[in-house]
């Protein structure tokens, strides 16, 4: 059936990405009863591994749905009706969080920059100065539809100094570069297993600060006895506490395997191969005469390379050509960036530098097939030269 369905040969997207083989095998472990003592200990163990991987001081929360659940739940739980919220938008995802935030608060203000740019920490400081009553700030660290990174640690320091709470969406950056809840002063730090951890979609991981727990508990509208609840799960990682509802057992099995891969290889080694793959890819893009979407290379993500669609090229046809000629799937833009860029993901198992030669080859070949002459050979040479030097 695979062939009748004409599955891709390579999935070089910014998520869902293919999982590590060890994760795919991990998913196949026996499904246990959630109240079985061995499963409860196993779950606690997985939570401990996640805590270690995330560099947390307290246990993370695992919610049983993909990261939009974590983001929606964070908004619903942390934001109280009378909170003033500052949303930082440098892309479609950052902007989108504002709509959720708006549902739960009366007063939302924003700092917004063009979607190929990054938030300037100085602008955050200014906005907070202008609206000192701001109680919550929300930031998308890696705005995936733009492939750009915001300076989370600097922004976090400003927010912390102000005394506001920070919600950080690090879904598609965590695990692929140095970023964590503590260094970014995040009160709710949202990520998931299906980006740079090379796991599968279906869970959210949340780092929640002690003061965020307190604020949520005081929030009468924070979801309880609900799929959207964070509070329900506060103690669920403990082997002697019940789960509020059935956890996604197989997803937990897969997460366990993904965390093992990450911790055994070592976070720094993982980050380094993400960085090198992206660097090689950007070198290739430029050498073949294309432009990066990011206004400046410093803000280009190490986990996704967004390539500006050349004038006169139909971006949908470009991806279709790469797919049909070479079996390579790229990500499109989303919303405002749709049609303006093509995204090459290098996350988890595809974050090996050699993958950049596939990406550049398929991208260049597809452009040529559409009649837009591109120097693919120069692109591949640049990729190889970059790898050769290591980072």
Please state the φ and ψ torsions of residue 310, each to the nearest 5 degrees: -60, 150
- Is residue 25 a contact residue for its own copies (CB under 8 A)? yes
Cβ at position 59, least distance to its own copies in Å: 19
Of 82, 181, 183, whose CA–CA distance to 136 is shortest?
Answer: 82
- Is residue 352 a contact residue for its own copies (CB under 8 A)? yes
Provide Rg for the chain, Cα atoms: 21
CB nearer to its own copies: pick between 151 and 202: 202
Using the contact rule CB under 8 A, the part of the chain among 82-90, 139-147, 245-253, 306-314 near its own copies is 245-253
Q: What is the pattern of x (binds its own copies, CB under 8 A) and - over residues 104-133?
A: ------------------------------
Of 303, 302, 333, 337, whose CA–CA distance to 319 is shortest?
Answer: 333
- Is residue 381 a contact residue for its own copies (CB under 8 A)? yes
What is the C-alpha separation between 180 and 173, in angstroms, rounded? Answer: 10
Structure letter (DSSP) for residue 48: H
DSSP H/E element including 344: strand 341-345
- Is residue 65 a contact residue for its own copies (CB under 8 A)? yes
Find how far residue 195's CA is from the centre of its chain. 6
- Is residue 95 a contact residue for its own copies (CB under 8 A)? no
Of the candidate residues 181, 196, 208, 328, the single one contacting its own copies (CB under 8 A): 328
- Is residue 2 a contact residue for its own copies (CB under 8 A)? yes
CB nearer to its own copies: pick between 194 and 309: 194
Of the candidate residues 57, 81, 82, 99, the single one contacting its own copies (CB under 8 A): 99
Q: Total residues at the site for its own copies (CB under 8 A)?
A: 98
Interior CA angle at 92 toward 63 and 98, to 5°? Answer: 65
Contact criterion met (CB below 8 Å) for 230 and 63? yes
Q: Of residues 162-201, which lie at the interface with its own copies (CB under 8 A)?
A: 194, 200-201
């Amino acid at each position: 059936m695979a062939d009748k369905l004409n599955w891709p040969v390579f999935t070089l997207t910014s998520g869902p990405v293919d999982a590590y083989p060890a994760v795919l095998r991990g998913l196949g472990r026996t499904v246990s009863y959630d109240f079985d003592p061995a499963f409860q200990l196993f779950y606690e163990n997985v939570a401990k591994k996640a805590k270690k991987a995330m560099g947390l001081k307290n246990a993370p929360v695992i919610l049983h749905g993909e990261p939009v659940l974590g983001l929606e739940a964070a908004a619903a739980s942390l934001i109280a009706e009378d909170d003033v919220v500052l949303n930082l938008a440098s892309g479609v995802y950052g902007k989108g969080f504002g709509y959720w935030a708006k549902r739960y608060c009366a007063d939302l203000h924003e700092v917004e920059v063009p979607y190929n740019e990054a938030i300037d920490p100085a602008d955050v400081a200014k906005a907070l100065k202008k609206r000192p009553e701001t109680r919550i700030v929300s930031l998308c660290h890696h705005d995936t539809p733009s492939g750009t990174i915001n300076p989370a640690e600097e922004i976090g320091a400003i927010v912390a100094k102000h005394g506001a709470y920070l919600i950080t969406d690090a879904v598609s950056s965590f695990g692929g570069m140095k970023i964590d809840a503590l260094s970014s002063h995040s009160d709710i730090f949202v990520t998931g297993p299906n980006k740079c951890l090379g796991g599968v979609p279906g869970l959210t991981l949340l780092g929640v600060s002690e003061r965020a727990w307190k604020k949520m508990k005081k929030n009468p509208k924070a979801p309880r006895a609900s799929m959207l609840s964070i509070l329900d799960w506060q103690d669920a990682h403990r082997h002697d506490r019940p789960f509020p509802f059935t956890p996604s057992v197989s997803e937990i099995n897969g997460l366990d395997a993904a965390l093992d891969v990450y911790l055994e290889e070592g976070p720094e080694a993982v980050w380094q191969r993400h960085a090198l793959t992206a660097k090689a890819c950007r070198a290739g893009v430029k050498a073949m005469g294309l432009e990066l979407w990011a206004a400046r290379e410093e803000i280009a993500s190490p986990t996704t390379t967004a390539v500006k669609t050349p004038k006169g090229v139909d971006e949908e046809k470009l991806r279709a050509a790469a797919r049909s000629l070479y079996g390579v799937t790229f990500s499109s833009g989303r919303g405002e960036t749709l049609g303006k860029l093509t995204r090459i993901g290098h996350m988890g198992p595809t974050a090996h530098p050699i993958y950049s030669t596939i990406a550049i080859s398929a991208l260049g070949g597809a452009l040529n097939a559409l009649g837009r002459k591109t120097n693919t050979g120069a692109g591949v040479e640049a990729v190889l030269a970059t790898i050769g030097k290591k980072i």
